[in-house]
Chains A and B, each alone.
Chain A
Amino acid sequence: MVKTPYPGRKVMQMSDDVMAEIHRDYLYNLVLKGERDDGRAFDEFRDISIETNVAGMAEGSALVTLGDTQILVGVKIQPGEPFPDTPDVGVIITNTELIPMASPEYEAGPPREGAIEIARVVDRGIRESKAIDLEKLCMVKGEKVWIIFIDIHVLNNGGNIIDAASIGSIAALLSTTLPAERYGLGEDSPLPVRDIPVAVTAIEFGGELLLDPSLDEGKLAGTVYTVITNSDGSISGMQKSGIEPLTIDQAMRVVDMAGTAAAKIREKFLEV
């Protein structure tokens, strides 16, 4: 965010590309000195806050702020048919909406590749960590299972949406109730969640690896690398994107940094 010389009034939004060009040298030189724009260490996250059950009509929800980023995740659950190739387990469907409210760059319409990638990476962490016991969500094999819809609603893009969406999704799931009574299928019960996967994203910039990139840092990054770790420290998902390559050494450093950062976030915000 550009600091305005007029207190209380925002600078008119310039084209983000122009801003990045001017800002780039400044951020780059800071990184060379071992510093970041907002004073954080390279492996330090911005402030996180989580508020659960903020959307009353949802079966579970969480409002996450990560620095300037604000994301509301809502979980809806309905009975439905399983996929034919997995007849005895429940279904998870994850969707991300980058609504125009969240950034001048977003436009209304069906999800584009950026939103689809975010949803699929968050989904990968939850699915592959087996955080949700999908076998318990089968009611009649091949006919009736619980379908869990995780909808990630980005309200303000302040950078690093993936991590905020991942934290928000698992926080929302931890607060989720299976709405069995509404469908005449027995008593309501908490959703069986047995692991807490947390995504941690790093960028490579100026030869350094920075966790939790701010909006500006994210724009300057050549490489964006997300590592999702579970409670036992094992890895359940990864995604590298961006046009610059990554060395094996850098990949391993991010894995180590991500494991440490995820453990801190889990301990502070997600474990009861």
Chain B
Amino acid sequence: MSEKPEHFIVDGKRLDGRRVDELRQIKIELSPLGRADGSCYLEWGRNKIMAAVYGPRELHPRHRQNMTKAVVQYRYNMAAFSVDDRIRPGHSRRSIEISKVGRDAFEHVVFTKFFPKTAIDIFIEVLQADAGTRTAGINAASLALADAGIPMRGLVSACAVGKVDGEIVLDLMKDEDNFGEADVPIAMTAGGKITHLQMDGNLTRDEFYEALKLAKIGCDKVYKLQRQALIEKYNKEYAENGEDAIPRPEGDADE
């Protein structure tokens, strides 16, 4: 592990040159996988995440089926080589917890009642990790669900906020996560409803409120990128078929 930096913020710039309210670079690729019903590859700074969705499909064993709705299953997994020291393959206690709250983050948006007795399987593979993999995974999963054509109330967008050098900052990078004072991963719907929230570290009440407001700004930015990626995917298909492109939504400004 690297040493703790003396200062995280110098002249308003963070270790990687970002402002306090700036996200890392995000790159989205839809449908990279042929076999899955929907998939998304997402790069978020140095994080590299692959998400795939299968379903709705028959759920086995049958006693796990729900007669009134689809069962959402979420598996977050880190590749053994995704971090500095190799991690043992398979589920860890950390990945089991992340999988559980990741699943909870989507139950609200997926119209599970449309597909009783089925499973909707979401698989997240972290190929390269650099802080913020659970939120990056949620963003990728959200797009993979949309890519699979699963009916949803809307997309879920996620980002982390945290505290370094006593300041609330958006989207922690590795050193900020390791040595910072707090880490708050959050996911929201486009309407600002929180579907995922965890926190560790130390924050006062007012700092937490500030963190929530900053998270909303971050999630809004992510949402725009997600929507843009989906529109581009369909526009490409439409262009191939000689159809009109989807008009740009009103009020969309260039970032």
Contact = CB atoms under 8 A, between A and B. Distances in A.
A116 B99 CA distance: 11
Given A241-B100, A241-B104, A245-B189, A255 B194 contact: no
A34 interface: no
Interface in A117-173: 117, 119-120, 124, 127-129
Contact of A235 (B100, B108, B203): B203
A238 B207 CA distance: 14
Contacts of B203: 234-235
Contacts, number: 94
Given A246-B193, A248-B212, A255-B205, A113 B97 contact: yes
A246 B200 contact: no
A243 interface: yes
Interface in B198-251: 198-205, 208-209, 212-213, 216
B101 interface: yes
A248 B93 contact: no
A238 B198 contact: yes
A204 to B, nearest CB: 11
Interface in B98-127: 99-101, 104, 107-108
Nearest to B212: A248
A237 B197 contact: no
A173 to B, nearest CB: 18
B199 A237 contact: yes
Range of interface residues on chain B?
20 to 34
Interface in B166-211: 184, 188-189, 192-205, 208-209
A175 interface: no
Interface in A230-248: 230, 233-248
A85 B194 contact: no
Contact of B97 (A117, A127, A251, A252): A117
A256 interface: yes
B28 interface: no
Contact of B192 (A230, A234, A248): A248
SS class of chain B's interface: helix, strand, loop or mixed?
A: mixed
A236 B212 contact: no
B1 interface: yes
B59 interface: no
A259 B206 CA distance: 13
Given A245-B189, A246-B194, A259 B205 contact: yes
Contacts of A241: 100-101, 104
B202 A251 contact: no
A129 B193 contact: no
Contacts of A230: 202
A128 B108 contact: no
Q: Tell which of B1, B100, B199, B208 has the most Cβ of chain A within 10 Å.
A: B199
A28 interface: no
Counting from the closest, the 10 A-B pairs by CB-CB distance are: A243-B107, A238-B199, A245-B193, A240-B197, A246-B194, A113-B100, A128-B200, A245-B195, A85-B1, A235-B203
Given A252-B212, A255-B208, 5 more contacts: A117-B100, A128-B200, A225-B197, A236-B200, A240-B198
22 contacts: A85-B1, A113-B100, A116-B93, A120-B97, A124-B200, A128-B200, A230-B202, A233-B204, A234-B203, A236-B200, A236-B202, A238-B198, A241-B104, A246-B194, A246-B197, A247-B193, A247-B194, A248-B192, A248-B194, A251-B197, A252-B205, A256-B205
